[in-house]
Amino acid sequence: MALPAPAQTPSGTRSGTRSALLVLEDGRTFRGESFGAEGETFGEAVFSTGMSGYQETLTDPSYHRQVVVMTAPHVGNTGMNDEDTESSRIWVAGYVVRDPARVPSNWRSVRTLDDDLRDQGVVGISGVDTRALTRHLRERGAMRVGISTTENDPERLLQRVLESGEMAGSNLSEAVSTPEAYVVPAQGERRFTVAALDLGIKSNTPRMLSERGVEVHVLPATTTLEDVRAVAPDGLFFSNGPGDPAATTAQVQLLQDALRAGIPYFGICFGNQLFGRALGFGTYKLKYGHRGINQPVMDRTTGKVEVTAHNHGFAVDAPMEGSTSTEFGDVTVSHVCLNDDVVEGLELRDADGRLTSFSVQYHPEAAAGPHDAAYLFDRFVDLMTERKDA
């Protein structure tokens, strides 16, 4: 017997009755219910395996132009709070969930996930078999997708999906970067100054540097070497960010100039890919990428395995064994993903074998995520300390 419909929707829950359509670029179609804003959206369909941290995922600028499919079946259970956002807004182009929380419950929750998606105009879909969708993306690879609450015909939506932009070849850094430079002060005594290029930076990165006595000058993506020098930095940092590293040239040149000037460098994710390109390696698109908070990585310099947060669809193509000599020094692959042997870190050493710069493909700032890799911020501080003492 069918249950009687509730007399009214309890406050804070989704209305969720309008139907929504999802069409992948190879024609596979899913039907579900509208979740978040109504309308139509397009992007690259990717899946994230994180069982928590949806607020940090949604607000990570690296997801710009991507439609995120959550493999965790229940999403929104702890609502949205005012502390965990990784930037000023939700960046995902669309959101796909199986079973949204009807009543969020957490002492910090101030809004529902549905409210925030709707208020920020982010189109989503719920009630989708996210296991089937994820398996499809895993087998066929990441691809373009459209979600619509206004179109009922899959063929017509497919046409628009095929007209939408591809991720490969997209340069998106300037679309997400800060328009103006700003400073995150060091906590306690200021020990170092770092110039941090914002290519889509997450709030937790300057926070983790500032906790280590670093004054962080967050600079726009269009920054020149003169702007970097004006900060008189002890180190240069390039953040995570959206888009195809192969479509980014100005920042690669800036990094090469900074390396020639002898400024120690640390890069995260997109910052690892641009470091790879600056050193002369290529980058390539992974079939479906790594997105989640439990990816095993080995630090080959210590042999230790860490459980890490990932969000990348591209990777650096560098030789796993031996070192490669470049005009900047000798490069080795310092970290590797134990799931699929993808390059997860690079290390540059001078002729005396001293570390001069390094980067990782994953997220030591890990918000949300395990904090196994936080030691990398200490490694950057140690590198700047050695430079200062030298």
User: Of 9-17, 69-77, 239-247, 325-333, which part binds ligand GLN (CB under 6 A)?
Assistant: 239-247
Nearer to ligand GLN, 186 or 199 (CB): 199
Nearer to ligand GLN, 67 or 157 (CB): 67
Of the candidates 298, 251, 280, the residue with the CA atom closest to the CA atom of residue 348: 280
Please pick, from the candidates 71, 77, 311, 356, the single residue that binds ligand GLN as defined by CB under 6 A: 311
Please pick, from the candidates 95, 237, 270, 377, the single residue that binds ligand GLN as defined by CB under 6 A: 270
Whole-Å CA distances, 186 to 12, 189, 194: 39, 7, 10
Tokens coding 13:
């829950």
Cβ 165 to ligand GLN shortest distance, Å: 14
Nearer to ligand GLN, 68 or 269 (CB): 269
Annotated binding site for L-glutamine: 62, 241, 243, 270, 273, 311, 313-314
Residue tagged 């983790």 (tokens): 208
Is residue 290 at the binding interface for ligand GLN, with CB under 6 A as the rule?
no
Task: State how beta strands 40-48 and 143-148 pair.
Answer: antiparallel
- Specify whether the CB–CB gap between 89 and 123 falls below 8 A: no
Is residue 359 at the binding interface for ligand GLN, with CB under 6 A as the rule?
no
Residues 6 or more apart whose CB falls under 8 angstroms from that of 165 comprise 42, 65
Is residue 265 at the binding interface for ligand GLN, with CB under 6 A as the rule?
no
Of the candidates 306, 255, 299, the residue with the CA atom closest to the CA atom of residue 276: 255
Is residue 241 at the binding interface for ligand GLN, with CB under 6 A as the rule?
yes
Cβ 175 to ligand GLN shortest distance, Å: 12
Residues 6 or more apart whose CB falls under 8 angstroms from that of 285 comprise 142, 167, 168, 244, 313, 314
Pick the catalytic residue: 64, 86, 136, 269? Answer: 269
Is residue 154 at the binding interface for ligand GLN, with CB under 6 A as the rule?
no
Q: Is 363 assigned a catalytic role?
A: yes
Cβ 88 to ligand GLN shortest distance, Å: 17
Please pick, from the candidates 314, 358, 377, 380, the single residue that binds ligand GLN as defined by CB under 6 A: 314
Distance from C-alpha of 36 to C-alpha of 111, rounded to nearest angstrom:
13
Is residue 35 at the binding interface for ligand GLN, with CB under 6 A as the rule?
no
Q: Is 166 assigned a catalytic role?
A: no
User: Of 18-26, 223-231, 306-314, 339-347, which part binds ligand GLN (CB under 6 A)?
Assistant: 306-314
User: Of 77-85, 203-211, 237-245, 322-330, which part binds ligand GLN (CB under 6 A)?
Assistant: 237-245
Is residue 269 at the binding interface for ligand GLN, with CB under 6 A as the rule?
yes
Is residue 62 at the binding interface for ligand GLN, with CB under 6 A as the rule?
yes
Of the candidates 33, 93, 83, 19, the residue with the CA atom closest to the CA atom of residue 62: 93
Is residue 312 at the binding interface for ligand GLN, with CB under 6 A as the rule?
yes
User: Of 10-18, 184-192, 255-263, 307-315, which part binds ligand GLN (CB under 6 A)?
Assistant: 307-315
Q: Is 337 assigned a catalytic role?
A: no
User: Of 153-161, 186-194, 222-230, 312-320, which part binds ligand GLN (CB under 6 A)?
Assistant: 312-320
Nearer to ligand GLN, 182 or 284 (CB): 284
Count the residues of the shown chain that bind ligand GLN, applying the rule CB under 6 A.
11
Distance from C-alpha of 212 to C-alpha of 150, rounded to nearest angstrom:
50
Tokens coding 205:
């990165």
Nearer to ligand GLN, 79 or 267 (CB): 267
Pick the catalytic residue: 25, 44, 344, 365? Answer: 365
Distance from C-alpha of 49 to C-alpha of 70, rounded to nearest angstrom:
6
The residues binding ligand GLN (CB under 6 A) are 62, 240-243, 269-270, 311-314
Active-site residue set: 269, 363, 365
